[in-house]
Structure formats: C-alpha cells, structure tokens
A and B are shown apart, each in its own frame.
Chain A
C-alpha cells in the first residue's frame, strides 16, 4: 500500500532510490508509479538530491572491450540469450515513457468496452523507442487475449513468442507462440498474469524457444495493469 501521508510517501520513495527495499515493496512502488504523480515527484527529488553522494565511489577504467561489447549488442551480433535482458530495467525511470499515449489508448479502449468483470487486466505492448502501441493484451476470468494493433510480422522463418514475467520473478514464463494472424488466445489465466507483471514478445524459431527461455531479441514489452 503506497502511503498518502507526505512524510511516509517521501520516506518510502527515498528508501526505493537508496535501494534498501526488499523486492516485494519495490515491486509495489513500481506498480503504483504509472498512476501516482506525487510518488514520481518524490523519486525524482531523491534521485537528484542524493546524486552527489555517488562521487564517493572513485572512478575506475572499465575493461577495454566493454565498448565493443556494447556495439556488438546494438548491432544485434550477440543474439544469444542474455539473462540480464530480463532484469528489471530501473522501471521507475521509464514508467512514464509513452505514459500519456498509453493512458490515452487505455481510455479509448475502456470507453469502447463493456464494464470490466472482476480481476481484469490490460497491457499495451510497445517496441523499444516507439510510442505507438503494437499489441494490446486483455486478461480476465475467461483467459488472455493478445492481438496485434499495428502491422507486426516476425522476420522470415521466425515466430513471435509471448512471455510473462511476474513481479519479482527471476525468469520469464512462456505463454506460447503467437499464431501468424497476430491473435493469441489462452483459455485460462496463468498465475503470472497479475497486476505489475510484464508481458514481452521475443523472436524465436517457428516452434518457439527450444530452451524454455527467450533465445531471440525481445521486441515488444508492456506492463499489465488492473482495469
């Protein structure tokens, strides 16, 4: 529960920025960011104000090959799975990426949809660096439906595979390969589908990842929110 009292809220935001919170509390904060402007402001305050403390860590020369490894990653040369891809990417920092867009999309979506049944979730999946939604995911007691919003097709001979990462989970869970028509249905609701979970789509062989973990690049990502 995110406190409404100003002192409590700022102390909690400060603890998050310090990094002392356990994963459960940190996850709760991340889930609240999209809707809590006061919390975002408090996080910004602490990040900015505490920043000079980082000068206490003496600078050091990184290994020389580090830049080449970064370039190789950006060039897509390193296509092997990197577990770190799935680490939480400092979520509070880009919780607001495309937030206005996502919120606008969500409003349109909600307006066009009959009243939601209990425990319903929605997620809008974006490509990195793109604000246009690429996939829309809706989940409820009847199961999960993920469908392409824009024109999205995997590269030749490949397929899109859908993954769920529960809040605090160490590894993604495969939900299956997305059919070629861009509509994915699941008749039940996996436990990983809950508020604050992340949905992601990676490029995999036609039958899906052979390793039960993503082997190709992650091309779309979005967070699930309770409707």
Chain B
C-alpha cells in the first residue's frame, strides 16, 4: 500500500488536499460554491479540446479555467452573478461535448478526467502538480488580507480602496489555477467536493479565520488519505470516497455544534 505506484498517489494526494483546503476555505467564506463547481467542469472541456488537436491536456485545462474565471467575472459584472456562472458553465460544457463528438476518445479517459485517476498518477506528474500547487497557495498568501476584508468586512474594504470586483476575478483565477493542477489527479467533479465539504465543516466549528484555515486543511488531508486507503482496499473509485467523506465532515460538524448548543441550553435550563 505504501510502495510502488502508491507512493505517487500519496504524494500527489497530499499536495492536492493542502491546496483544496486553502483555496476551498475562501470558496466557502466568499459563498463562491457555484463558480468553484463551474470552473473545474468548464476546464474539463479544455482538456477534451487539447486532446483533439494533440496538445498537452494540462494546457487546455489551464486556458479553459482561466477563460472560465474571466467569463464568470465579466458576465457577472453586468448581470446576475449566478446566471452568469450557469451560462458560462453550460457554454463550456457544450464546447466540451462538441470536442468529444469530433474525437474518438476512449471512454475511460473521459471518466478519469471527470472522476480522477489518483491511483494511476505517474511520477512525471508530481513536479508540475507541486509547482502549480505552490503557485496557488502563494497567490492566496498574497491576496490573504484583501480576500478576508472583502469577504468579511466589505465596508472596511471599500474605505481602504480595495476593488471587490478585481479581488473577485483574481480569486476566481486562483481557483482556476488550483483546478488546472487538480483535475488530472482527482477529476473535475471531485475537486469541488474537496473544496466545499472540509472547509465548510471547519467554518462551522470555528469563526476565527486562522484556526478555520488550519482545520480545513487538516480535514481535507484526512479526507484524501482515507479515500486513497479505502480505494486501495476496496477497488472502488477514489472519487466516491472523496465525495462522501467530504460531505460527512460537514454533517458531523453541524451535528456536533448542534448538540453542543443543545447541551449548553439544557445546562442553563437545569
């Protein structure tokens, strides 16, 4: 379980989990769940397109996730943001369907782009994943104060001259960057689960941003480690475990907070 090709899976999984935990924390904080779903899915179309014309899928993923981020930001400025996200998403998915119809793509490849193939990661993929992951975390570190300000105290941000629209677009670009690195590994659909469940659980447990960020990364790491181990043992897709465990964190956190407040309430009554 810890030898051979599994070493790659553990390494890449760990990188992906850290990035998803950090980026996902702000996704939850900013209520950007829909764009965080739309960007990886749209990027999937880019991979299909790159495959069609014989380019590296990573390039297609990068270009399309950047286009998705800019498209959502641009359309959202002039209309309802959720409508903009939905339309940008379906436009890219439709392009993806068109690319796929022109290629003779073997079906398992489509499946692995959507749901990931972490157990099949090759050692050549580790370095690009690590570099893109570092870039995403670095970008978040640079934007950290502005992201927190515009999410939590929009009035203060405005008085300090921070342009919320620009911060938003920059943040979506970071989501795109994180997407580019994670889609080939965990798949377009599952990076979303990882960016929502663990951070949402962390936010439910504490309102202090620093502590929540650490919790988010820890939950996300645990999720992917458990998922890899379980997938190795059962042979079921890793995406299944990632999706279900991510959601379970949130439900567990909500239940914990609820019982705590119930106990406090009961103590007061008694």
Determine if chain A interacts with chain B. Answer: no
